[in-house]
């Protein structure tokens, strides 16, 4: 799992559709939630994660692509600690 998380944070590359991809996206959302709690402005990213949660089909894949555009903007786990 660690290589998938590292790859996403470095380049936006996600595993193929499935549980591992969902876990990587859930981890990124959790880190954003932790940062938000600390007062870091991540509302634009949280909007994208909300779209992931409520969309299906093509709209869902568009939301995944939007999250992938700026993975380096995602806070790191260390930042969220």
Q: Domain residues of the chain, as ranges?
A: 2-80
Q: What is the residue-wise DSSP string for 30-58?
A: HHHHHHHHTT---HHHHHHHHHHHH--HH
Q: What is the pLDDT of residues 29-79, one digit of tens each?
A: 998 888 889 888 888 888 889 998 899 999 988 888 888 875 555 655 554
pTM: 0.77
pLDDT by residue (tens digit) across 10-31? Answer: 888 888 878 999 999 999 899 8
CA dist list (Å): 74 to 9, 53, 57, 58, 63: 7, 18, 24, 24, 15
Nearest of 8, 50, 41, 44 to residue 27 by alpha carbon: 8
pLDDT value of residue 80: 47
Closest CA to 72 of 2, 13, 17: 13
């Amino acid at each position: 799992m660690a290589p998938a998380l590292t790859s996403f944070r470095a380049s936006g590359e996600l595993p193929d559709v499935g549980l591992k991809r969902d876990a990587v996206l859930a981890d990124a959302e959790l880190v954003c939630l932790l940062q938000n709690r600390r007062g870091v402005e991540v509302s634009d990213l949280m909007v994208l994660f909300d779209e992931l949660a409520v969309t299906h089909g093509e709209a869902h894949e568009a939301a995944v692509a939007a999250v992938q555009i700026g993975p380096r903007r995602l806070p790191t786990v260390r930042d969220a600690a």
